[in-house]
Amino acid sequence: MDFLRLMPLEEALKDFFQRWQPRLRTETVPLEAATGRVLAEPVRATADIPGFARSTVDGYAVAAEDTFGASEGLPAPLRVIGEVPMGQAAAVRLEPGAAVRVATGAMLPEGADAAVMIEHTETLDEGAHEIGVTRPVAPGDNVIRRGEDLAAGTELLAPGHTLTPYDIGALSGIGLTAVKVFTAPLVAVVSTGDEVVPASAEPRPGQVRDINGPALAAAVLAEGGAPMVMGIYPDEFAAQEGALHAALEGGADMVLVSGGSSVGARDLTSSVINSLGQPGVFLHGLAVRPGKPTIAALVGGVPVIGLPGHPASALVVFEVFVRPILKAMQGLAGPAAWHRPWVWATLTRNLASGPGREDYVRVRLRPRPLPAGGGAEAAGLRGEVPTTDQPAFEAEPVLGKSGLISTLVKADGLLRIPLEKEGLRAGETVKVTLL
């Protein structure tokens, strides 16, 4: 394979997905374990939520028309004919010219179509049997109608939706205790290198603690996968072959190998992968910086990705190349489902870019300064959505070599310089993908 033939990222992903289709599996998990998982089937409301009209304030349930024209100078008098206890059905029916005491969340009695806040009433007799309403309400004021949150039969969530804490609340509200989701892909993480030692070890001269293994495992977990940490293996063919074979035998849906992807006498990853089975390595070299020596392979339908040993390179390649594959394994098909949120920003300094490679520059975001002597209005921040003409942020490049993990620690996002551009100038409006 010609390592010098670097494949552009978009072409590499297209080629990968032409060769490979994810093997999707599903499972049912308890609701409390479903946050971050991808829904495998639609969820519909089985009943109206709420199942009854309820008050959103402490006060009185009323017929709105009985309060029309009320004011502090001329309160509308209403007879208090009862109370609806919390958590119980309303046993009283509202009569014309009457009111019923309710607390926030209590059921509205039949005949009521609004609620009056207690602050907008005054007591007209010692026994509080009559009140005066000092502010009128319209039908629907201060109440949630039956089915206003969710009507029975409504599709609440569609397949392919990544569940959030808010979704979990809604699912609980319709009575679900478990949900069907795509199975979290099992991703083996293998670190390599004679110089790499565990985080718990005290490095000797020439040794470094493992950064890539823990970072990649954490990235897999954050993106909905289940990491299978395989440990650290020396630059020996047999050791690395054994590790990858164990990962595949252990049921890994994908294998990530960090280190050993560059061309050199002691860089074995490509050869080790090819020894495991067909079709083997089909890509060795991405036209991206950092991340040039990336390897992509398939072994019996399982993606095996060789990542650079330098931490920033490995994690940037995870972001732009591995993450889409991991998302596809969870039923999220197509670039629209893979993209992270992004913002427009103004670049703070010139950036050069070498020809023939996409540059992924780590950047720190900071709010755009207000003009001298101006407030929010002068800055154009009057509630409008920021545009390319008026970004809300400045993007300050975090420069440093690909071996420095601190460049990602300090960064808020990634700025892409396309293949065809030789750089960007300070003051340009740029798109920053949030990390």
- What are φ and ψ of residue 281, in 5° steps? -75, 130
**Dihedral, 193, 198, 326, 300 alpha carbons, nearest 10:** 50
Residue 386: DSSP 8-state: P
Distance (Å, whole) CA 350 – CA 254: 39
pTM to 2 decimal places = 0.84
Residue 382, pLDDT score: 42
- Give how far Cα 115 sits from Cα of 35, 54, 96, 139, 145, Å: 36, 9, 14, 9, 12
Spans of all domains in the chain: 9-25+184-336, 35-48+149-182, 54-144, 340-434
pLDDT of residue 265: 40
Sheet holding 279-284, edge to edge: 226-233, 186-192, 254-258, 302-307, 295-299, 279-284
Structure tokens at 32: 């409390």
How many of the other CB atoms lie within 10 Å of CB of 140? 14
E strands, 85-125, in order: 98-102, 114-117, 121-123
Tell me if the domain spanning 54-144 has CATH number 2.170.190.11: yes
Per-residue exposure over 149-177, b if at least 16 CB sit within 10 Å of its own CB, e if not:
ebeeeeebbeebbbbeeebbebbeebeee
Calpha distance 204→309 (Å, rounded): 19
So what CATH class is 35-48+149-182?
alpha beta
pLDDT at 312 (0 to 100): 94
What topology is assigned to 9-25+184-336 in CATH?
Molybdenum Cofactor Biosythetic Enzyme; Chain A (3.40.980)
Closest Cα partner for 274 from 264, 265, 261, 287? 261
Do the Cβ atoms of 244 and 231 come closer than 8 Å?
Answer: no
Structure tokens at 168: 């979990």
Note whether 305 and 296 are within 8 A (CB): yes
The superfamily CATH assigns to domain 340-434 is MoeA, C-terminal, domain IV (2.40.340.10)
Rg of the chain over CA atoms, in angstroms?
Answer: 31
pLDDT at 316: 96
β-partners of residue 360 are 416
| CB neighbour class for 246 (10 Å; exposed up to 12, middle 13-18, buried from 19) | middle
Q: What is the pLDDT along the chain (435 residues), one digit of tens a residue?
A: 555 578 999 999 999 999 999 999 999 999 999 999 999 999 999 889 999 999 999 999 999 999 999 999 999 999 999 999 999 999 999 999 999 999 999 999 999 999 999 999 999 987 778 999 999 999 999 999 999 999 999 999 999 999 999 999 999 999 999 999 999 999 999 999 999 999 999 999 999 999 999 999 999 999 999 999 999 999 999 999 999 999 999 999 999 999 875 655 446 889 999 999 999 999 999 999 999 999 999 999 999 999 999 999 999 999 999 999 999 999 997 777 778 899 999 999 999 998 889 999 999 999 987 655 544 444 444 444 555 567 889 999 998 887 889 999 999 999 999 998 989 999 999 999 999
**Residues 6+ away with beta carbon under 8 Å from 178:** 28, 29, 30, 31, 34
